[in-house]
Amino acid sequence: MAGLYIHIPFCKKACHYCNFHFSTSLKNRKKIISSMIKEIEIKSIGYEDLIETIYFGGGTPSLLSIIEIDSLIKAVIDNFKISKKPEITLEANPDDLNTSKLKELSNSLINRLSIGIQSFNDQDLKLMNRSHNSFDSINCIDNSLKYFDNISIDLIYGMPNSNLISWEKNLNLALNWDLNHISAYALTVEPKTALEKYIKKEIILPLDEEFVYDQFNLMYDKLLDLNYINYELSSFAKKGYFSKNNSGYWLGKKYVGIGPSSHSFDGFSRSWNVSNNKLYVSDIQNNKMYHQKEKLTHVDQYNEYIMTGLRTMWGISLSNLQEKFGKKIENHFVKKSKKFIESKLLIIENDLIKTSKKGKFLSDGIASELFLINR
């Protein structure tokens, strides 16, 4: 069982916080899509695992025409072994989802939309440099629900200038639709973004971590009261609506990455394509090695296991840890986790060690103290 990720490397404009790979020029679009189809054909040769999920991420996949989306899906279906009812998600920006696009998408094999709302607050959206406003977002969700029932929205909390009152207002708006899935990310200041530049120049002041935690805490309690399950730090879903694609990543399943900057994982090694549209096209067209590869050491595998275990509701099973990595490594984990159990950031439930609410929010920092170092 595996997932297939297709990276669409175009955006209308650059959001100030984002350092995912994209170009605002659509010039090479045709060549990139035909290269992706070629990459699908190449990567399918000898690939035995059943593909359960296809995920169009970006960049902005909703910028593609339905013909382009269909041609990519067809290439996957024609070349890979596909499960009976694959989850096929498309990330979409609200300003792309007009009625005719939604109609076309609902007639395609796409069966899940992940809409980048980010905020219902126009001040936030301006600061983010988004290409839509809150009115577009509301209309877009109303319209999308006429065509899709499996919809997720992305939100960003911890915005500069936000506070608990503005975040609660934002969240209440998002909860109006009783959606099946909400992904909410704490704003991170990524290198080489406009946001980083503004913060360095003190034009924008980031929020202190404790205030960001207050927003996570408010959201967590509110969403759990409404029967959402926080199955991963940033992911809240109603029962039966967990993202199969993202759960695959966290449960260590294999995935095939297609397109510039995409990553692949075969159970032992991770490889990643070049993050440059022009180089990607020329490499694929010339049948050149278009990715870098890294074999995961035992230590890398342990570190990833800890990282995902702390982020997710599945936690870390001590017996599983011992079986996978041996008694010595399990002892290291137990010894290092003691102080977090005492401070109630980690909780023991029989054989499982999980993060508490606060622990989940701080899971990156906790994980780094539980990691082993490659020698």
Ligand X SMILES: C[S@@+](CC[C@H](N)C(=O)[O-])C[C@H]1O[C@@H](n2cnc3c(N)ncnc32)[C@H](O)[C@@H]1O
What are the residues binding ligand SF4 (CB under 6 A)? 11, 14-15, 18, 20, 22, 58-60, 93, 116
Residue reference for tokens 């999920």:
53
Residues 88-147 that bind ligand X (CB under 6 A): 91, 93, 116, 118
17 is a contact residue toward ligand X (CB under 6 A): yes
Nearest distance in Å: CB 1, ligand X: 24
58 is a contact residue toward ligand X (CB under 6 A): yes
Sole window of 182-190, 298-306, 313-321, 325-333 interacting with ligand X (rule: CB under 6 A): 182-190
Residue 214 tokens read as 């207050």
The single residue among 78, 142, 149, 190 that binds ligand X, judged by CB under 6 A, is 190
Collapsed DSSP state (helix, strand, coil) of residue 304 = helix
264 is a contact residue toward ligand X (CB under 6 A): no
Give the long-range contacts of residues 74-79, CB within 8 A, separation 24 or more: 75/36, 75/37, 75/40, 75/41, 76/4, 76/6, 76/40, 76/51, 77/109, 79/40, 79/41, 79/44
- Specify the DSSP class assigned to residue 133: -
Nearer to ligand X, 22 or 333 (CB): 22
Of 243, 262, 264, nearest to 254 by C-alpha is 264
Sole window of 43-51, 184-192, 281-289, 344-352 interacting with ligand X (rule: CB under 6 A): 184-192
Nearer to ligand X, 118 or 215 (CB): 118
248 is a contact residue toward ligand X (CB under 6 A): no
Beta-sheet pairing, 263-265 with 346-349:
unpaired
Nearest distance in Å: CB 154, ligand X: 3
Nearest distance in Å: CB 8, ligand SF4: 9
- Specify the DSSP class assigned to residue 153: E
Nearer to ligand SF4, 41 or 154 (CB): 154
185 binds, among ligand SF4, ligand X, none (CB under 5 to 8 A by kind): ligand X
What CA–CA distances, in Å, run from 287 to 40, 68, 122, 246?
13, 23, 46, 30
Q: In whole angstroms, what is the distance from residue 90 CA to residue 88 CA?
A: 7
Nearer to ligand X, 18 or 372 (CB): 18
185 is a contact residue toward ligand X (CB under 6 A): yes
14 binds, among ligand X, ligand SF4, none (CB under 5 to 8 A by kind): ligand SF4
What CA–CA distances, in Å, run from 254 to 219, 249, 257, 264, 267?
31, 8, 10, 8, 6
Nearer to ligand SF4, 127 or 346 (CB): 127
Q: In whole angstroms, what is the distance from residue 220 CA to residue 224 CA?
A: 6
- Specify the DSSP class assigned to residue 10: B
What is 206-259 written as a DSSP string?
PPPHHHHHHHHHHHHHHHHHTT-EEEETTEEE-TT---HHHHHHHTT-EEEEES
**Closest residue to bound ligand X by CB:** 116
Q: In whole angstroms, what is the distance from residue 228 CA to residue 239 CA?
A: 7
190 binds, among ligand SF4, ligand X, none (CB under 5 to 8 A by kind): ligand X
Nearer to ligand SF4, 60 or 134 (CB): 60
259 is a contact residue toward ligand X (CB under 6 A): no
Which residues are at the interface with ligand X (CB under 6 A)? 17-18, 20, 58, 60, 91, 93, 116, 118, 154, 156, 185, 187-188, 190
